[in-house]
Amino acid sequence: MNLRIRRLGVVLSVLYLVLFLQLNRIQFFGAERLQDDVNNTRGLIREFGRERGPIITADGVLVARSVEYDGSVDFRREYPEGELYAHITGYQSLNVEAVGLERSYNDELAGDPIDQRFASLGDLFVDRNSTATLTLSIRDDVQRVAAEALGDRKGSVVALDPRTGEIIALWTFPSFDPNPLADPDGTAANAAFDALVADPNTPLLAKSYREIYFPGSTFKLVTAAAGVEAGLIGASTPVFPVATTYEPVPAGAPIRNFAGSACGGDLVELLRVSCNTAFSEIGAEWVGPERMVDVAEAFGFNADLGIDLPGAAESRFPTDYGEQLADVDRYRAAGQQPVEGAETVLPNGAVPVHENSARLAQASIGQNDVAATPLQMALVAAAIANDGVVMTPHVVTELLAFDGSLLDRVEPEPLRVAMSASTAAILRDAMRVVAEEGTARNLLTDGVVVGGKTGTAQLGTTPPNSHAWIVGYAGMPNEQPSLAFAVIVEAQEGASEQTGGRVAAPIAQAVIEAAFP
């Protein structure tokens, strides 16, 4: 019998060896595969329930923090300012992917980067809080004024420091309260999310940097910059004849001035009255496709702006204008018929006609297929204010460790050079005239030098509706401007044919007053 008992011992040993091998397979060799399994929500919940660092504005207002939670997870996220910062902080949710800074700075907030976890040798042995605090360039006082000034009109306000790219205010109405989305109760969070997704006003969309609009007349700044950069146009020469209509070549719908008016003159005058006919001609016949595209892209169109918030939209400037046909003068002389043998650049500085020059004429005044984010238009003004250099826009300035020591500082970084400093100076002066004597008079603020350009992007005439724009800069006298801004009030019911000067400029003016107390 003892032989059998020993054999039983061997059999049992083998069976337990199988258990041990399988245990190794599950816990060690195959553990990674199991952890990555789509059905495994452990990592997700663990990630969600961790303590994360707070987010604080430049003037010390707490806009996101982790609070201890008594339930399925250890911590949950709270956004004390609710919807005011929703499009900046974003949210961290159990059900849907995080957005905003919660996403772009996820690792730093959670304390994952090696340099945060092991700042010193001692950290190898101590479980120290390694989460980072994000300090924003957003000023709560300015942000709050921007939101109040826009009120319950759909639109966006972007204000930034043109010298550094630091964003001071970034507001879109409508916004949303991120707190319900961060609910550790997945069902409640889902219900809140579904309601926001179903809202026709798309409150979840941070339109200030994620939606593109016709920039309308504000785009004339880009066309002007292209003309000056090409050496074709100065502040006071040439002088364009007064006209009510521009006939595009080779063919296309005539372009008229706002309210059928007539305008002309030098560059400053053209900007002051926002002269459609002259800017169409400058873009289509003087600057031409190649240089228009180059300059628009130098301002940031057709590219990522490098903002530290995820999901930013690219602004758009059309690049395809077809084959070149003939020089404008000979084209016109031949009765708008194609003429063989055109040269690329004509002695008078003008450019040959292209198949789609009519499209370029429209694009040059911010219509046709041109579309820009409010952030992009703020950067157009910022480039002009900053001697032609576009700084990379960002909302985070500093990362602080739990003990308040500095982990990292986001240094200002040039993104592009849009134009020369001299071109920028010409446009700055012209914009100042626009604010003092032109369509942007509502910007004027005591003790501050301001420059601006309005835009009224018409979407239709029955009923008449249009996006109202203002872009501009502000600074202390005899100093480089320290504020650039863009405001858009979207076309909406009940606001028939609003103009940038009347509707958007007062909002920008409120922001300037808040920024320069």
Partner 1 sequence: MTATESPPTHPVSPLLALKPRRVETGLLVMVGAAVAVAYALASFGTTEAIPANLGPFLLWMFGLGAVAHLANRHFASGADPVFLPISLLLNGLGYVVITRLDGSLAALQSTWTAIGIGGYVATLLFVPRVRIIEQYRYLLGIGGLLLLMIPLVPGLGTEINGARIWASVGPINFQPGEFAKLTLAAFFAGYLVDSRELLRSRLELRDLAPIGVAWAGSLGVMVFQRDLGSSLLFFTLFVVVLWVASERWVVLAVGAVLFFGGAFAAWTMFDHVQKRVDIWLDPFADPKGDGFQIVEGSFALADGGLTGTGLGQGEPGRIPFAETDFIFAAIGEELGLAGSSAVLMAFLLLIGSGLRVSLRADRVFEKLFALGLTTLLAVQTFVIVGGVLRVVPLTGITLPFVSYGGSSLVANYVLLALLVRMSHEQRVLIRPAKGTA
Catalytic (active-site) positions: 217
* Shortest CB 125 distance to partner 1, Å: 15
Cα separation, 153 vs 52, whole angstroms: 34
Nearer to partner 1, 24 or 129 (CB): 24
Tell me, letter by letter, the H, E, C secondary structure of 328-345.
Answer: HHHHHHCCCCCCCCCCCC
> What are the residues binding partner 1 (CB under 8 A)?
1-6, 8-9, 12-13, 15-16, 18-20, 22-24, 26-28, 30-32, 34-35, 37, 39-40, 42, 45-46
Return d(Cα 49, Cα 430) in angstroms, integer.
54
Q: From start to end of 211-309, where are the E strands?
A: 240-243, 245-246, 255-256, 263-265
Q: What is the DSSP letter of 419?
A: S
Nearer to partner 1 by Cβ, of 2 and 237: the residue is: 2
Residue with tokens 């084209």: 331
Instruction: Look up residue 216 and give its two tokens.
Output: 């309308």
Euclidean distance between CA atoms 60 and 81, whole angstroms: 12
- Please identify, using beta-carbon distances, which residue of 17 and 253 lies nearer to partner 1: 17
309 and 138 Cβ atoms separated by less than 8 Å: no
Task: Supply the minimum distance, in Å, between the C-beta of residue 65 and partner 1.
Answer: 20
Q: Which two structure tokens, joined as six digits, stand for 342?
A: 């055109």
- Quick check: 362 and 280 in contact, CB under 8 A? yes
Other C-beta atoms closer than 10 Å to the C-beta of 83 total: 18
Q: Please identify, using beta-carbon distances, which residue of 40 and 422 lies nearer to partner 1.
A: 40
CB of 12 to partner 1, least distance (A): 5
CA gap 111, 47 in Å, rounded:
11
- Name the minimum Å distance from CB 7 to partner 1: 9
d(CA 161, CA 455) in angstroms, rounded, equals: 22
Q: Closest distance between partner 1 and the C-beta of residue 4, in Å? A: 4
Q: CA–CA separation, 79 vs 89, rounded Å?
A: 8
Give the nearer residue to partner 1 in terms of CB position, either 23 or 197: 23
Alpha helices in 151-244 (DSSP H): 186-198, 207-210, 220-229
The nearer residue to partner 1, 11 or 251, going by C-beta atoms, is 11
Q: Chain-centre distance of CA 408, in angstroms?
A: 23
Residue closer to partner 1 (CB basis): 16 or 118: 16
16 vs 201 by CB, closer to partner 1: 16
Residues 6+ apart with CB under 8 A from 439: 272, 273, 274, 453, 454, 499, 500, 501
Q: How far is the CB of 13 from partner 1 (least distance, A)?
A: 8
Over its C-alpha atoms, the chain yields an Rg (Å, rounded) of 29
Mention every residue, 6+ apart, whose C-beta is less than 8 A from residue 284: 248, 249, 357, 358, 360, 361, 364
DSSP conformational letter for 441? G
**How far apart, in whole angstroms, are the C-alpha atoms of residue 141 and residue 162?**
19
Length of the chain: 517
Least Å from the CB of residue 401 to partner 1: 22
Of 44 and 195, which has the nearer Cβ to partner 1?
44
Alpha carbon 232 to chain centroid, angstroms: 31
Minimum CB separation of residue 41 from partner 1 in Å reads 9
CA 324 to chain centroid = 34
Residues 416, 301, 358, 269: is their CA dihedral positive or negative?
Answer: negative
Shortest gap between Cβ of 36 and partner 1 (angstroms)? 9
